Homo-oligomer: A and B are copies of this chain.
């Protein structure tokens, strides 16, 4: 490896490589071990570089299934894997659990609380969080779904609402407790609304004595004129019919004006009383642009060039939900796992090319399709020419997600849980854990 490295370097871009004493391998620092960061690290497996992956958590999160943790279908450990374990066998990787504090571009150093890590190549893949469009005060009464903490908090709120409804003797309070409002008609909102409706009507329905949980209201509120706006209109309509079939009320062109512990108020003045409002509308990128002193768009995403570089720094790549990237047809690249993976692979190939002194290709986003699941047997899938809905789309969705779940163990356990849930309308993780019971 050592010789290869030297070979690579003599032909390489020396201005970018300041060898450390006793180690002449280029240093690649990857911030964030989401889909993008991991893809970059794995794609550099056989390259003679020293990779440091920095994440403030010890686990990689399989975001697309997080809504199932929030609705008691899966356990956190089934959608999260230790980053160390995933990269355990890749000898050129070191994983550090640290929180990034700042990036010194001039010195090419990343500073964390306890360490300063120099880099020759930097890949920033620190993702995004949900946003409240300047109404951050809504966060407490309408949690969003981005982390395991969010998911277990939402799970506790949903299950506690049923528990409190069973206890209370106040009819109005009971009605508010049995009303669930999901704000945002994107894939996450659609998945959440469908899963909550099923939880109430199929799973916990036999478990209560004083309340009829099947009468629980689930309201999906979307500001735009249809749910799943990134999908063809016909699939949006199908998704809405499937949701309504599960008992979800879908309100389109219904913007939320106000949100508090008692419920939401819509732009047209309508008030929906609910003790459990969930936020699935809009995201804000991580602080990457601030760290890098780079330009950002309205969603806080770093503006990058066609090679995913911060303009003027061809050794700094920003990828995934943290980057504002346009595909060739000029449309923004979606904030999905496949897109992040493609960007991570691009960054790895670019670094390989830079080391070898070869030209770097521009990033080309390949769009494979859109998927959104709705319930136990329903989903919609858009693969351009091929459009599926209902059970067939649901099967495709399950297979796709199962396949991409990192780790054999998780795949197996999740598959079994889904199988049992499907056969027995069961949910395996119906735990209410509070701040002191993580």
Contact = CB atoms under 8 A, between A and B. Distances in A.
Interface string A78-99: 1010101100110000111110
Interface in A156-180: 156, 159-160, 163-164, 166-169
B435 A84 contact: no
B163 A97 contact: yes
Contacts of A431: 58-59, 76-77, 80, 82, 148
Nearest to A84: B207
Interface of A: 57-59, 75-78, 80, 82, 84-85, 88-89, 94-98, 114-115, 147-149, 152-153, 156, 159-160, 163-164, 166-169, 204, 206-210, 409-410, 412-413, 416-417, 420, 426, 428-438
Nearest to A159: B58
A434 B75 contact: no
A413 B428 contact: yes
A70 to B, nearest CB: 12
A416 to B, nearest CB: 7
Given A98-B167, A417-B413, A438-B152, A430 B76 contact: no
Contact of A58 (B76, B85, B98, B432): B432
Contacts of A168: 114
Q: How many copies of this protein are present in the complex?
A: 2
Contacts of A77: 75, 428-431
Given A75-B77, A76-B433, A84-B208, 17 more contacts: A58-B159, A58-B431, A75-B75, A77-B428, A77-B430, A85-B430, A88-B206, A94-B210, A97-B164, A98-B167, A114-B168, A149-B434, A149-B437, A413-B413, A413-B416, A435-B436, A438-B438
Nearest to A85: B207
A428 B407 CA distance: 10
Contacts of A160: 58, 97
B412 A153 contact: no
A433 B84 contact: no
